[in-house]
Amino acid sequence: MSGPSPAPSLLRIPFTEGTIRYRARWIFPVTSPPLESATIEIVGGRVAAIHTRHEPRAIDLCNTALIPGLVNAHTHLEFSGLAAPLGPAAPFPDWIQSVVTHRNTRTLGIAELVSTGWGESVANGVTALGEIATDDLIFGAAARCGFRGVVFRELLGFSPDRIDAQWEVARHHLEAARELQNPALSGGLSPHAPYSVHPRLFERLVELAIAESAPVAMHLAETRDELELLSQGTGTFRRLLESFGIWRDDVLARGSRPLDYLRILARAPRSLVVHGNYLAADEIEFLAGQPQVTVVYCPRTHAYFGHSPHPWREMLRRGIPVALGTDSRASNPDLSLWGEVMFLRRKVTDFPPDKLLEMATGAGARALGMKESGAIAVGALAEIACVPLKGDATEAYCHLLSP
Ligand SMILES: [Zn+2]
């Protein structure tokens, strides 16, 4: 073998009345062990069979691996036009300031950015996204480019006088999602983060999500600055909020912590804790009893900001669902979830590769409520990515994830 495994691309399966068959060196169903020299049969866009019998009618994909389409559980496509991450990476509130400035000065429209980001995702084997949207035009743009996944509407409002208006934005978003009647595209809510959302607005948004059976995604325990703001009302985030003219001393109760938010998030039918970099031991303990809550780890974004090691392996040991995300191009050089997989493969060499692939497929699909994605299984949608392999190897995962 030579060099790292190339990125996958989604298999474009032509529509046909009959059965279409592909043979590949390996097929990775993810929910069961890999099959060598295997054939997949597809009928009407769904997987009809997977087997290792010789099938002369199969299209031979030669030295490739078929894996489920990847699921990127967290991104913001509005930053898809960036050629490089925004700086500075630290202190974090300064990066937030750069994000705000970029948002106010960029020239590309949301439709073009969504289309660009979705195109880049598909070109890297992604079949579904957990997208955080700040624009009401998102559904039209997403539907036009064939987007699949959940569009979480970002809600921002630290001041109490914004609560009613932001709640109304959320209600409208879920209504618009429902009216689409698109099984591949659904709506969710994203109260942005504890430093940007009034606690009462956060609670009301979760109540709305429960009433509408919608998922919730929140950036939580991302930085130590956030923990300081919650516990003491001091630090760089306070200075940032003061510079925006929105700091109020009575919004966050002293002694607040991510656990207060986790308890409320856990009431939603499904929720995504984005990052969770600095969750404490008792907060991880709490999550261990909440299988409806998925932690989304964004490895290269985590590294970009130079955070302390992420507790994702401890979370997995405790049975907490952990999915992978790229986050946006504002903190990552690209939107390739495969890039995250290979980054971890090189960095954490003793981690089981089958579990790594599961984090990039099934875990994200479950977090987004996409029951028919994330695995190659009989009866499931044929959302399949094809990985060109290098050289030869007798062990399937070594061949697929050659670092
Ligand atoms: Zn994010």
Taking the centre of ligand 1 as the mean of its atom positions, its distance from the CA of residue 327, in whole angstroms, is 5
Using 50, 70 and 90 to split pLDDT, how confident is the model at 403?
A: confident
| pLDDT surpassing 80 at residue 137 | no
Q: How confident is the model at residue 17 (pLDDT cuts 50, 70, 90)?
A: confident
Per-residue CA distances from 85 to 34, 332, 387 (Å): 36, 6, 27
Segment 252-280 shows an average pLDDT of 98
How far apart are the C-alpha atoms of 297 and 221, rounded to whole Å? 12
Mean pLDDT score, 152-156: 97
Span from the CA of 32 to the centroid of ligand 1 (angstroms): 32
Q: What is the structure's pLDDT at 2? A: 52
Distance between Cα 351 and ligand 1 center (Å): 25
pLDDT of 322 above 70: yes
pLDDT band, residue 93 (cuts 50/70/90):
confident
Length of the chain: 403
Q: Please give the Cα distance from 24 to 47 (Å, whole number).
A: 15
| Mean of the per-residue pLDDT values of the chain | 95
CA 120 – ligand 1 centroid, Å: 18
Angle (deg, nearest 10), helices 199-212 and 258-265: 20
CA of 75 to the centre of ligand 1 (A): 6
Q: How many angstroms is it from 357 CA to the middle of ligand 1?
A: 22
pLDDT score, position 138: 84
Mean pLDDT over 145-169 rounds to 97
Expressed in angstroms and rounded, the spacing between residue 317 Cα and the centre of ligand 1 is: 25
Question: Each residue of 181-202: pLDDT tens digit?
Answer: 999 999 999 999 999 999 999 9
Answer for the pair 168, 142: CB distance below 8 angstroms, yes or no.
no
Residues contacting residue 325 through CB under 8 Å, at least 6 positions apart: 72, 73, 74, 75, 130, 274, 296, 297, 298, 301, 337, 340, 364
Which tens digits make up the pLDDT trace of 391-400? 888 899 999 9
Q: Strands, DSSP E only, in 69-215? A: 70-75, 126-133, 149-155, 185-191
C-alpha of residue 86 to centroid of ligand 1, in Å: 13
pLDDT confidence of 313, banded at 50, 70, 90? very high
Calculate how far, in angstroms, residue 219's C-alpha sits from the geometric centre of ligand 1. Answer: 6
Say what the pLDDT of residue 36 is: 96
Of 5-19, 209-223, 269-283, which range is least confident?
5-19
pLDDT of 3 reads 64
Span from the CA of 95 to the centroid of ligand 1 (angstroms) = 12
| Mean pLDDT, range 285-310, rounded to an integer | 97
What is the Å distance from ligand 1's center to 305 Cα?
Answer: 13
Mean pLDDT in residue range 225-249: 96
| Cα 355 to ligand 1 centre (Å) | 23
Alpha-carbon span 87 to 51, nearest angstrom: 50
Residue 349 has a pLDDT of 94
Query: What is the rounded average pLDDT of the residues 373-400?
Result: 93
From residue 293, alpha-carbon distances to 216, 327, 380 in Å are 9, 18, 24
Q: How far is the CA of 35 from the centre of ligand 1 (A)?
A: 36
So what's the pLDDT on residue 54?
Answer: 86
**Whole-model pTM above 0.85?**
yes
Region of residue 48 (left: phi > 0; alpha: psi -120 to 50; beta: else) = alpha
Q: Which of these, 71, 9, 69, lies nearest to 45 by C-alpha position?
A: 69
Residue 248 is given by DSSP the state -
Q: Find the 165 Cα to ligand 1 centroid distance in Å.
A: 23
The pLDDT tens digits of the residues spanning 27-73 come to 999 999 999 999 999 999 999 999 999 899 999 999 999 999 999 99
Map residue 323 onto helix, strand or coil.
Answer: strand
Q: What is the pLDDT of residue 1?
A: 46
pLDDT, residue 14, reads: 86
Domains of the chain, CATH where assigned: 9-68+378-400 (2.30.40.10), 70-367 (3.20.20.140)
The model's confidence at residue 122, banded by pLDDT at 50, 70 and 90, is very high
Q: What share of the chain is helix, strand, coil (3-state, %, to 5)?
A: 35, 20, 40
Ligand 1 centroid–CA 363 distance in Å is 18
